[in-house]
Amino acid sequence: MTETVYVQLLDLTCGALLLTAVLILWRRDLSVIVRVFALQGAALTALVAVLAAHERSGELWVIAAGVLALRAGLLPYLLRRTLAAAGEPQREARPLVNVAASLLAAAVLTFLAHAVSRPLVTLAPSPAAQAIPIAVTVVLIGFFVLVTRRHAVSQVVGFLLMDNGITALGLLTTTGVGLVVEVGVSLDVLLAVLVLQILAVRIRETFGDTDLDDLRELRD
Amino acid sequence: MTALGLAGAVVQPVLIVAGAPVLVGVMRQVRARLEGRAGPGIRQPWRDLRKLFGKERIAPRGTSEVFRVAPLVLVATTLVITVVAPFVTVASVLNPVADLFVVVALLAVGAVALALAGLDTGTAFGGMGASREVTILALVEPTLLVAILALSARVGSTNLGDVVSSMVREPSRVISPVSLLAAVALVIATVAENGRIPVDNPSTHLELTMVHEAMVLEYAGPDLALVELASAMRLSVFLGLLANLFVPWGIATTATPAALLAGVLALVLKVGVLGAALAAAEVFLAKLRLFRVPELLAGSFLLSLLAVAASYFLA
Amino acid sequence: MNPAQVTFGAAVALALATAVAAIVVPRRVVVGAGTALTGAAGLAAGVAAVSGHSFSLVLPGLLPLSGVSFTLDALGGLFVAVTGGVAVAAGVYATSYGKASAVLPMFVLAMLLVPAAASVGTLLVCWELMALFSLLLVIGENRSRAEVTSAGRWYAVMTHLGFVSILCGLMVFAAHAPADSFAALREARLSPAVSATVFVLTLAGFASKAGIVPLHAWLPRAHPEAPSHVSALMSAAMVNLGVYGLVRVGFDLLGGGPRWWWLLVLALGALSAVHGILQAAMSTDLKRLLGQSTTENMGLVLVGVGAAGLFTASGNPVLAGLATAAALLHVVNHAAFKTLLFLAAGAVLHGTGTRDLDALGGLRRTMPVTTALFGVGALAASALPPGTAFVSEWLLLQALVHGLPPSGVDTAIALPVAVAAVALTAGLAVVTFVKAFGVGFLAKPRSEAAANAREVPYGMRAGMAIAALGCVVLALLPSLVLPAVAGGATTGLVTLRLTGVTGSLSPLLLTLWLVVAVVVVAAGVRGVVARRTRRDARLWDCGGGPMSARMEYTATSFAEPLQRVFDDVVQPELDVHVTHHEESRYLVRAVEFRRSVPDRVERRLYAPVLAATRAWGRAGRSLATGSVHRYLGYGFYTLCAALLLLAVTR
């Protein structure tokens, strides 16, 4: 793989990562959000694969396979099942911050991410390091989704978005965090999602809805 | 003023005036086929125009010169763009006017003329259409200008000819994140400015959802023909600019007949494909509620801002 | 004697003579003609100064301690010329409008003197005179109306707070310099902390004069309540002097500064531009709308000034020149179209007695000249070609676009945001002026007053025509004034070419081609159609009988979609009141709908301050018991405390 092709592929996969994050913010339909999240898993896989091909590292190829299986396969499947169990199609009807404002907030977050990751980029100006701001943006957008969405499933997606961003960040900064760490993190995430899924099902069985704002009533 | 620019100034307006209604015909035909109808054929818009031009001119009671002049201004602004902007040839007969900001502003002048005409009628429909049209116009403006910033910052010029020829020289820019993000943003802006689904439905006549059609409700005969022709031309202009800004291949860079012919064919092909794709996409989309449109435009604005960020930070 | 000095002296003499004459013979013609002549002399002096004939004048005995000194250089000359030009149009207009007031020429004179002041003392005196004369004019004519007195109070308080801010800033500055003349200030070496203090204090004062958010609250109150020619003078000439002060202190006296100053200016400008035009887009009062649009335009100017400072700080003089040119050209353009628009709004008020857009409409038949002239102004103000503001906004966008590639991170974030703000402003300006022109002048009259409107007298028409001529000339040949503002940032007479960066624009050719295209299309249609005469026809009324004016879209309904889009930003107050028939609750008799869009910045920022002041006032009342001895005692104790403090600290 020549250098220019590598850079272009890297930019494109990072662009796809960012675009899917934005789309998750943009759409209200939960099934669409889950589908876009699966797409993001695929984009992350492509990113890892590009890095693996460039570094010629077997370890990275294994990580790529793991990412594909977990983030484009298993996690979206689990989320879809949670949605399917709920029956009728669900929507993020009234997010705490309306969609237009969320998108503008995402613009601000992008600039923030660029501003804070500037020192990291200048530290080691490689093509992979150039894409660090995008990974930071994905983390921030994930956090934003976690904060502003009401529905349990979209909150889980926000959490996973953050995790995708952190994985991409790790890969881009060190070009590989080590297989053991990656496997450990992935298992953690899987566990978290399973627990959240069970919680979501329980909440729904008790309250008939998975709007997390209703949980506030439990406090008293 | 070069020979190439002069050739463009003659070929482009003729091609776009003649071809714009055909483009609309193609789009309607694609849509009809996908919906399982036979469709009226791609020459139907021209037949409509011929019929309308043959009718009597009408002066609705209480309207003024503004109402009468608006269709002329609408066509004239679009015509000036077809003369100066790079559609078939890179060079422009009037370089100081072939500026991206000027083109955007000229298109806005046309929209404003029509909005004033809508208000001039003093009917509820006219006011409603004008109000909605200028609201959408105001919200599209940031997307357009920031996308322009993303495209022109790397070229160092907002001149359309410069931007397009730099794309021709360096094809690697075409698949960069900057171009892709800006392209998506500009496609959404194009859809909004031309009143296509999901922002507006050009074939609706339901009061609650009309935008463009409500504004032009009082026009009849030759005036209506002008308005229809102008909307078709604006659509072709937008699609032609999109095509040449992001896929400039085939545009004539020399003033030979062969190059010009290739330029014409490339433009027809690119705009035809884009139009057909747009029409096909419209089959699967529903019109958005008017107050959901800002969400769409905020999204396209975000994409154009990301394009600027990418143009600076990935450079 | 150089020509600038002669004409400037003539302007001063004419203004004083007019004021005296107006007291002796209180006729409108006298005041109007005198003001117009003063303005013409000022215009000539400004043009002479800009073209290189600067002069200095020191009058040591006129003021105690520092004396009075004037210097008219190119920068000051530009603002003198703009003020003079506005005064010509307003003066001609005043020959048949408003009351004959001796204050009018004095107000013009004070505005002419401010840019010529060459020492801190002189500037402050002229500034205060300008504020006082304008205040007198605002409350002079309709002082019995509650709105006018309220506007006057707001204006008086805010303009004086601004004055205090400028006073403190310049005093700190002068304390660190050998003398208070500008020449001495230029030589002063200030520590960064002191120069930042000076800059922020003067910025606050000058920004409040220019109506910049968040110090704009007085502007949409005072400008509409003044008589219209005074509104024009205030909105087109006086606000510019805030920009003048900022440029003079920031660039000339302090010699530029760190990037954060100019990022602050840029941010304030962008905020003002968007906030001002958003308020204007929701407004239904024609003159209030114009006042809010002034905030918008001054915001755009500040975006240019801020960008210029930013480019200077990052060592890019070419782009700094371009941004300065954009800002100053916008000052000139804004002066031209805002004069025209305010004068036309005055004509509407004169002809119909109302300035409520919801009650206007249909003026094109009864007031054709005013309608056409307002149309010219609206085109200019909406930043569309072939209008004046388009050229300056194009220059501004060019500066911002070319500034992106080699800049730092802060600039890379600030410039796209600024472009977006300018773009949103341009879009909303289109909405605002389509509303003002389309709803106010076209369509059917919505009230008795609008239906019975009368065209205004010739003097007023002439005033408007002069301003319109200025707009047209500036729109077609901005190159006539660009050398004065740009200092070589652009070249070319018909086609403007940017120096140092690529970019060219030809407003004249663009207009020419548009006209040709309209003619070609019109000729083409005439050739194609079968019958040329138009048949009179009914409007489409859905078969429900003739449409009445009550069915039209009003300014309120026109802005409704926009208000819903920006619901979270502007937070309008809606009030729906339904009354039912007495027989049955299910039958509605009337629905009353009221919407007001209060200024959110004002509500959030000013209301707490005003409430706190009121509380302080109440608390302070217990100190004032009415005993004279007690009052004298306060003075005595304070004096002793001050002396004690002095004794302890020394």
User: What would the pLDDT profile of A63-75 be if each residue is shown by its tens digit?
Assistant: 888 888 888 888 8
- Cβ distance of A115 and C409 shorter than 8 Å: yes
- Binned at pLDDT 50, 70 and 90, residue A201 comes out as low
Q: Is B305 on the interface with A (CB under 8 A)?
A: yes
Touching A (3+ Cβ pairs <8 A), the chains are B, C
Beta bridge partners of C421: none
Residue C174's φ and ψ, nearest 5 degrees, are -65, -30
pLDDT of residue A95: 79
- Report yes or no: C84 and C112 within 8 Å, Cβ to Cβ: yes
Tell whether the model's pLDDT for residue A219 goes beyond 60. no
Give rounded-to-5 percent helix, strand, coil for chain C. Answer: 70, 5, 25
Contacting chains of C (3 CB pairs or more, <8 Å) are A, B
B79 CB neighbours in chain C (<8 A) are: 517, 520-521
CA R_g for chain C: 26
Task: Determine the Cα–Cα distance for residues A69 and A191; give it in Å rounded to an integer.
Answer: 15
Residues of chain B neighbouring A104 (CB-CB closer than 8 A): 298, 301-302
Contacts of C412 in chain A (CB under 8 A): 114
Q: In whole angstroms, give the CA distance from residue A44 to residue A21.
A: 12
Q: Note whether B138 contacts C564, CB cutoff 8 Å.
A: no
How many B/C residue pairs have CB atoms within 8 Å? 256
Residues of B in contact with C423 (CB under 8 A): 141-142, 144-146
Q: What pLDDT score was predicted for residue C85?
A: 96
B57-71, B191-205, B231-245, C466-480: least confidently modelled range? B191-205
Determine the average pLDDT of the residues in A1-14. Answer: 83
Q: Which of C409, C417, C568 lies nearest to residue A114, judging by beta carbons?
A: C409
In this prediction, residues B188-216 reach a mean pLDDT of 84
B120: closest CA among B235, B223, B197? B223
Residues of A whose CB is below 8 A from B175: 8, 12
Sheet with C490-491, edge to edge strand ranges: C490-491, C496-498, C504-505
Please, which chains are in contact with B (at least 3 CB pairs closer than 8 A)? A, C
For residue B305, give the chain A residue with the closest CA. A107
Torsion, Cα C638 C642 C645 C647, to 10 degrees, reads -130
Distance to chain C for A120, nearest Cα, Å:
13
Residues of A within an 8 Å Cβ radius of B:
4, 8, 11-12, 14-15, 18-19, 22, 26, 98-101, 103-104, 106-107, 110-111, 114, 121, 130-131, 133
A94 interfaces chain C, CB cutoff of 8 Å: no
Between C501, C509, C522, which is nearest B94 by CB?
C509
Q: Is residue A141 within 8 Å of residue A111, measured between CB atoms?
A: no
Q: Residue A194 pLDDT more than 80?
A: no
Lowest-confidence range among A84-98, A99-113, B207-221, C619-633? A84-98
pLDDT value, residue C598: 85
Nearest to B149 among C401, C430, C502 (CB): C401
| Chain A residues closer than 8 Å to B294 by CB | 100
- Report ipTM for this prediction: 0.94
CA atoms within 13 A on the CB side of A52: 17
Task: Label residue B80 by pLDDT band (50, 70, 90).
Answer: very high
* In the predicted structure, residue A81 carries a pLDDT above the cut 90: no
pLDDT score for C64: 72
Domain that holds residue A182: 3-219
Q: Nearest residue of B to residue C527 by CA position?
A: B53
**Chain A CB contacts of B309 below 8 Å:** 110-111, 114, 133
Contact C444 B222 (CB under 8 A): no
What's the whole-number mean pLDDT along residues B166-172? 83
State residue C342's pLDDT score. 96
Smallest CA-to-CA distance from C358 within C288, C419, C292, C447 is with C447
pLDDT digits (tens, 9 = 90+) for B243-288: 999 888 889 888 889 999 999 999 999 999 999 999 999 998 888 8
Q: Do A110 and B295 touch (CB under 8 A)?
A: no
**pLDDT at residue C212, rounded to an integer:** 94
Residues 6 or more apart from C642 whose CB is under 8 A from it? none
The answer to whether A101 contacts C413, with C-beta atoms less than 8 Å apart, is no
- The residue ranges of every structural domain in chain C are 265-523, 604-649
Window 443-462 of C, Cβ < 8 Å to B = 443-444
* β-strand pairing of C534-537 with C504-505: unpaired
Disruptive mutation site among A98, A111, A118 for chain C (greatest number of C CBs within 10 Å): A111
Could you tell me which residues are beta bridge partners of residue C72?
Answer: C55
B188 inside 8 A of chain A by CB: no
Q: Residue A178's pLDDT is what?
A: 62
Q: Once rounded to an integer, what is the mean pLDDT over residues B53-69?
A: 90
From first CA to last CA, the distance across chain C in angstroms is 53
Distance CA C460, CA C464 (A): 6
Q: Using CA coordinates, name the residue in chain C closest to A118.
A: C409
Quick one: pLDDT at residue A179?
Answer: 61
Q: List, for chain C, all residue ranges whose pLDDT scores fall below the cut of 70.
A: 405-407, 487, 650
pTM metric for this prediction: 0.91
Q: Which of C362, C510, C552 is opposite residue B127, by nearest beta carbon?
A: C552
Please list, residue by residue across C72-92, b when 16 or more beta carbons sit within 10 angstroms of its beta carbon and e when fewer do. Answer: bbbbbbbbbbbbbbbbbbbbb
For residue B300, give the chain A residue with the closest CA: A103
Whether residues A110 and B306 touch (CB distance < 8 A) is answered with yes
A101 close contact with C: CB closer than 8 A:
yes
Which residues of chain C does A98 touch, with a Cβ-Cβ cutoff of 8 Å? 568
Does any CB of chain A come closer than 8 Å to the CB of residue B291? no
Residue of A nearest to C565 (CA): A100
Which C positions 387-446 lie with beta carbon below 8 A of chain A? Answer: 409-410, 412-413, 417
Q: How many domains does chain A have?
A: 1
Shortest Cα distance from C465 to chain B (angstroms)?
Answer: 21
Residue of B nearest to C567 (CA): B291
CB-based contact, C420 to chain B, within 8 Å: yes
Nearest to residue B42, comparing CAs of B52, B32, B53, B50? Answer: B32
Distance from CA of C433 to the nearest CA of A (A): 26
| Residue B233 CB coordination number (10 Å) | 26
Please give the pLDDT value at position C140: 79
Cis peptide before C214 (omega within 30 of 0): yes
Is there a contact between A107 and B305 if contact means CB atoms under 8 Å apart?
Answer: yes
